[in-house]
Structures are given as structure tokens and as C-alpha cells.
Amino acid sequence: MATGIRPWPWALVGLVFCAACLRSAKGGKLLVIPFDGSHWLSMRQVVQELNLKGHESVVLAPELSGHIREGWYYALRTFPVTFSKDRFHELIGSHFQWSFDQKPLLKRFFDIAVLFKMVSDMYFSFCVDLVHNKELMKSLEEAHYDAVLTDPANICGPFLALYLSIPAVYFLRGLPCGLDTESTQCPDPSSYVPKWTTENTDHMTFLQRVKNFLYPLPHNMVCQGFLKPYESLALELLQRDTSVADILSHGSVWLVRTDFVMDYSKPIMPNMVFVGGINCASAKQLSQEFEAYVNASGEHGVVVFSLGSMVSEIPMTKAMEIAEALGTIPQTVLWRYTGKPPSNLAKNTKLVKWLPQNDLLAHPKTRAFITHAGSHGTYEGLCNGVPMVLMPLFGDQMDNAKRMESRGAGVILNVLEMTSDDLSKALKTVINDKSYKENIMRLSALHKDRPISPLDLAVFWVEFVMRNKGAPHLRAAAHDLNWIQYHSLDVIAFLLAIVLTVVLIAVKCLKFCFQKCFGKKEKAKKATKSKSH
Amino acid sequence: MATGIRPWPWALVGLVFCAACLRSAKGGKLLVIPFDGSHWLSMRQVVQELNLKGHESVVLAPELSGHIREGWYYALRTFPVTFSKDRFHELIGSHFQWSFDQKPLLKRFFDIAVLFKMVSDMYFSFCVDLVHNKELMKSLEEAHYDAVLTDPANICGPFLALYLSIPAVYFLRGLPCGLDTESTQCPDPSSYVPKWTTENTDHMTFLQRVKNFLYPLPHNMVCQGFLKPYESLALELLQRDTSVADILSHGSVWLVRTDFVMDYSKPIMPNMVFVGGINCASAKQLSQEFEAYVNASGEHGVVVFSLGSMVSEIPMTKAMEIAEALGTIPQTVLWRYTGKPPSNLAKNTKLVKWLPQNDLLAHPKTRAFITHAGSHGTYEGLCNGVPMVLMPLFGDQMDNAKRMESRGAGVILNVLEMTSDDLSKALKTVINDKSYKENIMRLSALHKDRPISPLDLAVFWVEFVMRNKGAPHLRAAAHDLNWIQYHSLDVIAFLLAIVLTVVLIAVKCLKFCFQKCFGKKEKAKKATKSKSH
């Protein structure tokens, strides 16, 4: 048997004649409604692949945008918005600086809630500007798109697809507040499916299960505040009282950016397609600049360090602590950092404004990856088999980090509390303790061992929805039941009522018979007794 | 957009360089433990494909066998059994003759239970002969198989895999008594997932939901009788108290012979792979005999009629009724029938002892298919887009038939109660009412619209389990929880206890405060009153 690590054969598969290629003889028209930031960076790969297959894509975005720009493989259509430009940049720019502030847990929770509410309100404001733009809406209606490809983190995408009656494909990592499980009607037992941001694994102690059970409650309450405006908009435009989960439930196919090497096995639904690792399918040759860094690193190789596209500056005290730790290892460290260089930066540490993360991680001389454990970065570490030092900052990053640590492929550090020594130790551990490399290589091989590449799979399902005008056969009938019916509570009540009635009648009958049989004797006895007295 | 029916590109995909081919550089060793009958006929295609990929398969079967014979693509290893040969042929031969006897529902249920118990006891007896055959068991242990491919309808397969500690791949349509859902820990809400043999669809009335809720109870009770012997065997050999569901739960991957065009959308688990239609991937050229029949049928074409491999004779009265009906249509009827020919057989009806069912159904001149709605036949009708007259006899056939009828692709007839006229009408309906052809063609296109063929998918997952020594990452942690933990009943009880304690303490405190505050006043008042009196 061939075991161990095999070359990734997807590139070859992509080149040859495949089922999907045969089917897309004529190009379709796709409306793409993204969510800004790193979400868009992986979604656009699907758009590019669809372009190569002859489909036309129109990317619809507000004029205020961070990462969504013109591209050769789609037409960008922006729309004017009323949201203040300065406020937009303020929100996006200072987005995650608070991650480095030491705060009590409750204060942190409320700060996140406030930040999320502001971002959510901004997206809602964009959505209102879009749907009230009569000229644009008319042209969208007249364009007769075959499908909408959207990230449901931007609720306006699913909303617009429903409003325009175009079948939708969702592209996502997951949604907060259990919105994804509710909208897919996917069972989600809290006893072994860790809830979002709990940092639980699938094997929990009793108290972790209590936490997992209770955790969604405050989140769901907070979410109601974010979702309410969309429900009012639905009432105005769709003329019906509906929830956001119901709006989302009309998605034909959910392309979920995860797999069961990183995430834990759990119930899924037939319209959920798993494309985790879609962002690291093809590593390119390094540029001269980075090739030079790597070649100069000698036998010790390099360490790649990035806290993601949203965080490029950190407080100077923390930066100096980190710089000190990086100086203690023999590897060359390539650190994506745009702030003021720490004064104690060691010779082995190179600061760069941007780095080709996936290409660097794919290089055989890369020894470790210091990451904030965003889903994209973690998958790039996983695909390329690089042990990680994980510094989760917020959202699902804690969960991603926990998944890697629980599988022996990385070490988690609390970025707020760690010392220089902690980081130095963690780096030396993942680089020198061979078990980390062995574990990540094993996971990497498992992750890549699939019948079809995640990118081809995503493209297939978008084309499927375009060809078949949706996928109604994959929609569970559970969507047509209310909560009582779904859990068979009415059936149980009905059966209990029957059982109770039967028991009651039986008791009455027995009582009646008893009285008939023994009542007379009793009376007779009494009568005899009274006579004898 | 390319819509409508496209050529089936799987054959092409199979020919080209694929991911799986690259990986199986060196052949593995596979132990195959089948279930006799039509189950084996589709499973052996996977064995054949694995042989073409360089893997060695040993098929392990009792010396008494119906369909399991020598094959060029596997080594057959039979073992001696103590079960009587005559009793075996009696059981297999007369297996389904009772299907044509008119009986009250309850009598029918008990008759089926008795028959199933006899077959189950026979398989158990084979299993005991196998595991107590020391020489054979020793050689199996020493052979170091990479995986076991088995049909869990033969419980001995999963049992042996567990006993020999070899990872197992299951190949099945489904299991009775909810054994499949229990063993995979797959949620199965009775509110919209129709239970086995209920004939319900996924949209049920209240009373159908009551039936769906109650239906498993008697089945599960009957099943306990079948499963008990295996639990005793497990206690003897595995030295532990275990259930059959627990034995089955060790299957790494479940290759389920269904899809969501025929079956309804419902929760699934990550280790369930759907390969429905695997039996009709490649239609071959017809032999001269059948080509001649089809060519001679003229513009009206042919109707294919078979009640499956287990039923080839039917009572003469019924056969004559059927023959009469067949004479009323202009099509040529090819009827698989080995009994005495009915005297009223019309000229258009040809009796044959065997027919190439899938190849005939794939012929463009085939107008309709009269079938007992076994899963293989129904999928062959579906794949080839042939409208069906469905005469379900037992087991899941009622369900298969209902699925086709509810989608407008066939007409169900009760074979016991139907008249000659009913069959004639049903045939004319599915042939002349264009909606049946349109519906089955639409379903057929949807069924075939997949990223990878079911046969390639099945082969991939068998190779995956061989390569990776199982698929533990796909096993849900739910297997490690008991019923109370799974449903979080302990967590709910704990939280209720806390709430009750808090409420109790609060009430006590309030009562105490109330007494402190108002008790004195009350006393003072009483004292004042008593003084004033």
C-alpha cells in the first residue's frame, strides 16, 4: 500500500477532461455579492475559476470597499452609499486594535458586541442603499442571472437573491448565533458539537458541556439586535413577516470553508458542501525578494509570522517583547508588520509590509508559522504541513487554534498575557519537537486526500445551481415544519392524551366493576351489621 | 447555459488520470464479506474496479451460496458450514413466494418476521462456523488485510472486522430497525424523515407523522430477537458486553446506495458517502437475441418486465391476469419469467429466463419498465429515464415505489389486488402521458449531475480507508456519550437544580424579610388590637 505523503494531484485533475467541463458548454451569468476583507480573497478564486469555464460574473459592491477592487475575471459594479467615508475607514482601520487591550471578560464581550453592531449597521445601511436604488435594481432584474454567489455574512446577498428570485449559493466559514444551523435545519447537539467561540473540542467535560449548552444564549440575544433591521426590510420589500434564518434558508447550496480534519465530525445536511482549504490549492514560485530571504536562511530555514490582513500594527511594548523572542531562535523570521520597527529587532528578523503567505508556507525550508489562527491562515498552515504558534485574537480564531493544538500540531499563546520567554519556548517547541511536524504532516496528508479538489467542488456546485435553477431536491422538508412539529411534540402530546384517556377509562371501569362487585357485599355487610346491632 | 440532458461523462472521467489513480501506486489487500443475492451483484462492481487499480481481493463466503461464485477479479475463499443444504435451498427458493398470498396485515407482519428470523439464524449459523474455524481465522489474521469491505446486512462482516482489528467499509442500501442511524449516530427526526417501510414521504399529515413515530417500535422489538445471538458471540469472542449497533459503529466509511433524487433530504454524517445508482453506470451493447426483439418492436418500442432476481414465478391466476393486460398495449413486452407460460399470453409478450435489464432500459426504444421496485431496478429505471409501473412486494420496495410515484415518474399497483384492467391502464398512462417521461428524464439528469461517478467515489473511499488505516477523524464523538449525555439531560437537570435552588433560596429570603418587616408590625397590630379590646 502507498502510505505517507503523496504529491497533491489536484493540479493534474484540473488540467484533464472532467465531468464539470463537459457540462458547461455554454457560459452562465452569475451575480456575486461578497463580504469585504479576507472572506472575499478566497471567494474570488471561485469567481476566477468560473471565468475560465466561460461564465460571466458581475461583482456587486458598495463604493466604499477595503479589498473589493476591479478584476480581469469579473465586472465590478459599485453602487453609491450614504455611509460616511471617514467613518468607514475609521471602522475598518481601527477594527482590531482593541484586540491588544487588557480588559475584563464581560467588558470585552460588550466591546465586541458594540463593534459587531457598528459593522452590522454599516452593512445594513449599504443594503438599504442598494435595494432602494431603483435604477440598479431594475437592471439587476433585467439581467436574468442564473445564480447568485454570496457570502451570507453579508445578509444583503441572500436577501437580494430571495427578492430577485434567483437561486443562491453561499460561500462561508460559518455564521454566528447558530444562524447557519438554523437556516440549514442541521441538527447540532450541544453535547459534542462545540459552539462557536467556546474553545471546546468535541470531547467535553461535564462543565464544558454546561458551558456549550449555555453559551449560545447571550450571543443569540445580542444577535437579535443585529438581525431586526433586516426583518423590517423584508416586511417592507417582500411583504411578509420573516426571520433572517428563513431568508437564509433559501440558499440552494452552502459551500462551507471547512473540513473534518480541522473541524470535528458532526451531523451535516445534503446541501452543505465542504471546501476547507480552498484558499491554498496552488502555491506559486516565490518572488526574487523572498527567494533571497529563504536561500539566505541556511540550514535553519525560516519562520513566517503574520497576524492577518486586518492587523498589521501592534502596541510597541508587545512588539518589543515579540522581537526579543524572535531573536532567540536560529531561524530567519519573516514578519508582516507595517508599524514602527521595535528598537530591539534582532538580525534574523525581517519586517515586510506584505508577504506571499501560502507560497512561503509551501517552501520546504519553512519551519514554523506564527499566526492569529484566522481560518485562511490555519488552513494554509495545515495544507502545507507547517507547525504553528497560534495567537488567536477574536471570533473563531480561538476555535481554530484549539483544533490545531488538540491535534498536536501547534501551541497556543495568549497574546495579551504571554511573555517574551513564552513565545521563544513555544517556537523552539514546535520547531525542535518532531511530534509537531509529524502531526501536521499527517493531518496535511489526510486533508488533501479527497476525491476532488475543494476549488473544483465549489465550481461544480455553482454550475450545478446555474444549470438546474437551484437544488430543491436537497432542501430538507424540515423547513416546512414549525418547532413543535419538528420535535414531534404534537404527536407525543396526542399519544400521551390517548394513553391517559385509556388509563382513565380503565380506572373508571375498574372502579365501577369494583363497586358493582364489592359495593353490594359492603352494603349487605353494613345492612347485616346494622340489623345485628 | 447548457440545460436539458447531457451525455453521461463518467465513462470519460474513469478513463482519464484521476486523483485516486495517482495515489494507489501500490496495490492493497482487501477482505470482502458480502451478503448474498442482489446486494452482492452491485458490490462486486466495486471489487472489479479495485482489481483494475491493482488491489487484491479475497471474497469470503460460506460454501452454501446463491449468487457468490468464482470471479476473475477476486479470489473466492469458501468455508464449510453446518447448515443443511436442503434447508438453505428451501429458504432461498421459496423466499418470496408468500408475497403473492393474500393475508391480513398482522399475519403478514408476523410471517415476514418469522422469515427474517430464519434467514438471520442461517447467517448467524454461518458466522459461528466461520469464527470457530481456527485454521481459517488464523490465516485471516496472518494475511494482514488493509481493509474489510462488507455489507452490514450480513452482521458477521462488521463483527469479523472488529474481531480482527481491520478497518471496515460498509456497502449498503440501509438497515432495518434504525440500526444504521443508531450505528452512525445520525439524527433521524421522525417528523420529516420517513421510517423504513412506512411508505411515507418527507411531507406527512399529522396521522402519518403519528405512524412514522410509532412504526419503529414493533420493528425494533422484533429486531432484538435477531440481534441477541451476535451479542452473545461478541461476549464470547470480544470478551465484552456490547450491542450490534456498537459493533456496526466501528465502520470507518458507509457507502450508502442511495441519493437525494430518489430519497428525501435529511441529516447525514461525514462518514456516509452516497453512491446511489452505482449499479447502472455502464450500459453494454445488447446481445443479438435482445437486439432482434427491440428492432422488431417497430415504432411502439418495448416494455421491460421483471420482478427481480428472487421472484421468477408467480401464481397462475395472477400470471394470466398480467398476460391479459400485457396483450392490450401495442409495445413488445420482454418478461423475465421462468414459470409455466400463461395460456392467454399475447403475441407481443416474450417470456425470457433472464434479461440484461440495465442494457435494455438504456435502449432508446424502451418505453416503460414494470418492476417490483427493488432498489437496484428502481435506480436502473431512474438512471436510464424510463417511466415505471411499480409492483412492490416487501421490504423497502414500498418506499422506493412511493418515492418514484410522489415525483410523478411512475404508477404503483398492489400486485395482490390489481386487476388486468388496472395494469393495462397503468401501462398506457406511463407510456402515453408525456409528463411521466418528462419527470423521469428530469430526475435522471439530476441524478447523474454529480462531480464524481458513484463507482469512482466508492473506489476512492475504499482506497482511502486502506491508505489511512481507517477514517477516525470522521467518527463522531457522539459514540463516546451515553443517551443521557447525548441529549444533555444531565446538563438540563443540573441547570434546573440550580434554578430551583436559587428560586427556593430567594423565596426563603423573601419570606424571611417579609416576616422581619411585616411580622413585627403584624404582632404590634395584634398587640394593639388585643389591648384596645
pLDDT tens for A187-196 read 999 999 999 8
Tens-digit pLDDT profile for residues A240-258: 899 999 999 999 999 999 9
Q: How large is the average pLDDT for residues A386-395?
A: 91
d(CA B326, CA B349): 7
Q: How large is the average pLDDT for residues A431-443?
A: 97
Alpha helical stretches, state H, B297-411 = 316-326, 357-361, 375-383, 397-406
pLDDT at B197: 83
d(CA B506, CA B504): 5
Residue B311 confidence class, pLDDT cut points 50, 70, 90: low
Quick one: cell of B259? Answer: 441519493
pLDDT at B532: 56
d(CA B150, CA A238): 52
For residue A530, pLDDT over 70 is answered with no
pLDDT at A394: 80
Domain end residue (candidates: B448, B467, B498): B448
pLDDT at B185: 97
| Option in B210, B271, B474 nearest A494 (CB) | B210
Q: Show which of residues 450-469 on chain B sit within 8 Å of chain A, judged by CB atoms.
A: 450-453, 456-457, 460-461, 464, 466-468
d(CA B375, CA B354): 18
Residue B24 confidence class, pLDDT cut points 50, 70, 90: very low
User: Is B482 a domain residue?
Assistant: no
Tens-digit pLDDT profile for residues B318-350: 899 999 999 999 999 999 988 889 999 999 999
User: Is A482 a domain residue?
Assistant: no
Does residue B385 sit in the same domain as residue B428? yes
pLDDT at B7: 39
d(CA A297, CA B301): 75
Question: Testing the interface with A: which of B212, B262, B449 to mutate, by most A Cβ within 10 A?
Answer: B449
d(CA A444, CA A466): 33
Output the average pLDDT for chain B: 89
Q: Over pLDDT 90: what percentage of chain B?
A: 69
Tens-digit pLDDT profile for residues B262-298: 999 999 999 999 999 998 867 788 888 999 999 999 8
Helix (H, G, I), strand (E, B) or coil at A18: coil
Task: Specify the amino acid at residue B129.
Answer: D
Does residue B195 sit in the same domain as residue B226? yes
Q: Which residue has the cell 415476514?
A: B112
Does residue A274 sit in the same domain as residue A343? no
Taking Cα atoms as reference points, which of B67, B63, B64 lies closest to residue B79?
B63
Contact between chains at B10 and A3 (C-beta distance less than 8 A): no
For residue A519, pLDDT over 80 is answered with no
Q: Over pLDDT 70: what percentage of chain A?
A: 89
CA distance B261 to chain A (A): 6
Does residue A419 sit in the same domain as residue A375? yes
Output the average pLDDT for chain A: 89
Per the rule left: phi > 0, alpha: psi between -120 and 50, beta: everything else, A249 is alpha
Q: Is the Cα torsion angle B519, B522, B524, B527 positive or negative in sign?
A: negative
User: Is A518 a domain residue?
Assistant: no
Does residue A269 sit in the same domain as residue A335? no
d(CA B37, CA B376): 12
Quick one: cell of B290? Answer: 435482445
Taking Cα atoms as reference points, which of A418, A65, A213, A291 lies closest to residue B490?
A213
CA distance A396 to chain B (A): 20
Does residue B332 sit in the same domain as residue B406? yes
* A16 in contact with B, Cβ within 8 Å: yes
pLDDT at B263: 93
d(CA B385, CA B56): 36
CA B434 to chain centre: 31
For residue B74, pLDDT over 90 is answered with yes
Contact between chains at B467 and A7 (C-beta distance less than 8 A): no
Does residue A186 sit in the same domain as residue A257? yes
d(CA A138, CA A131): 10
pLDDT at B525: 63
Q: How large is the average pLDDT for residues B163-171?
A: 97
List Cβ neighbours of B253 (8 Å cut-off, separation of 6 or more): B169, B170, B271, B273, B461, B462, B464, B465, B471, B474
CB B38 within 8 A of CB B26: no
| Option in A7, A190, A449 nearest B467 (CB) | A449
List Cβ neighbours of A83 (8 Å cut-off, separation of 6 or more): A62, A64, A122, A125, A126, A129
pLDDT at B1: 40
Q: Which of A54-63, A230-239, A280-289, B382-391 has the lowest mean pLDDT?
A: A280-289
Q: Over pLDDT 90: what percentage of chain A?
A: 69
Q: The CATH number of the domain where A419 resides is what?
A: 3.40.50.2000
CB A11 within 8 A of CB A49: no
CA distance B348 to chain A (A): 39
Count of CB atoms within 10 A of residue A19's CB?
Answer: 22
User: Is A34 a domain residue?
Assistant: yes
Q: How large is the average pLDDT for residues A488-506?
A: 96
3-state secondary structure A501-520: HHHHHHHHHHHHHHHHHHHH
* B145 in contact with A, Cβ within 8 Å: no
pLDDT at B444: 96
Count of CB pairs separated by less than 8 Å, A with B? 218
For residue B19, pLDDT over 60 is answered with no
Q: Which residue has the cell 351489621?
A: A529
pLDDT at B107: 78
* A266 in contact with B, Cβ within 8 Å: yes
Q: Over pLDDT 70: what percentage of chain B?
A: 89
Does residue B307 sit in the same domain as residue B332? yes
CA angle (B479 as vertex; A263, B32 as ends), nearest 5: 95
Contact between chains at A191 and B261 (C-beta distance less than 8 A): no
User: Is A107 a domain residue?
Assistant: yes
Does residue A118 sit in the same domain as residue A69? yes
User: Is A62 a domain residue?
Assistant: yes
pLDDT at A526: 62
For residue B93, pLDDT over 50 is answered with yes
User: Is A506 a domain residue?
Assistant: no
Per the rule left: phi > 0, alpha: psi between -120 and 50, beta: everything else, A178 is left
Does residue A98 sit in the same domain as residue A123? yes
pLDDT at B116: 83
Residue B451 confidence class, pLDDT cut points 50, 70, 90: very high
Task: Specify the amino acid at residue A28.
Answer: G
Does residue B463 sit in the same domain as residue B390? no
pLDDT at B25: 47
CB A262 within 8 A of CB A403: yes
Quick one: cell of A112? Answer: 465586541
Total domains in the fold of chain A: 2
Helix (H, G, I), strand (E, B) or coil at B395: coil
CB A423 within 8 A of CB A125: no
For residue A316, pLDDT over 50 is answered with yes
Helix (H, G, I), strand (E, B) or coil at B410: strand
Does residue A173 sit in the same domain as residue A61? yes
Query: Dihedral (C-alpha) A15, A19, A25, A27: value to the nearest 10 degrees?
Result: -80
User: Is B293 a domain residue?
Assistant: yes
Q: Which residue has the cell 442500501?
A: B173
pLDDT at A23: 42
**Of B1 and A391, the one with more pLDDT:** A391
Q: Show which of residues 362-421 on chain A sit within 8 Å of chain B, judged by CB atoms.
A: none
Residue of chain B minimizing CA distance to A271: B265
CA distance B392 to chain A (A): 24
Tens-digit pLDDT profile for residues A113-152: 888 888 899 999 999 999 999 999 999 999 999 999 999 9
For residue B90, pLDDT over 90 is answered with no
Contact between chains at B203 and A22 (C-beta distance less than 8 A): no
Quick one: cell of A287? Answer: 518572488
**What is the extent of the structural domain holding B152?**
26-280+453-475
Q: Which of A441-450, A496-505, B89-98 has the lowest mean pLDDT?
A: B89-98
DSSP result, B31-81: EEE--TTHHHHHHHHHHHHHHHTT-EEEEEEESS-SS---BTTBEEEEE--
pLDDT at A109: 75
Task: Specify the amino acid at residue B98.
Answer: W
Residue B528 confidence class, pLDDT cut points 50, 70, 90: low
List Cβ neighbours of B50 (8 Å cut-off, separation of 6 or more): B30, B57, B459, B462, B463
Rounded to two decimals, what is the model's pTM?
Answer: 0.90
Q: Show which of residues 22-51 on chain A sit within 8 Å of chain B, judged by CB atoms.
A: 22-28
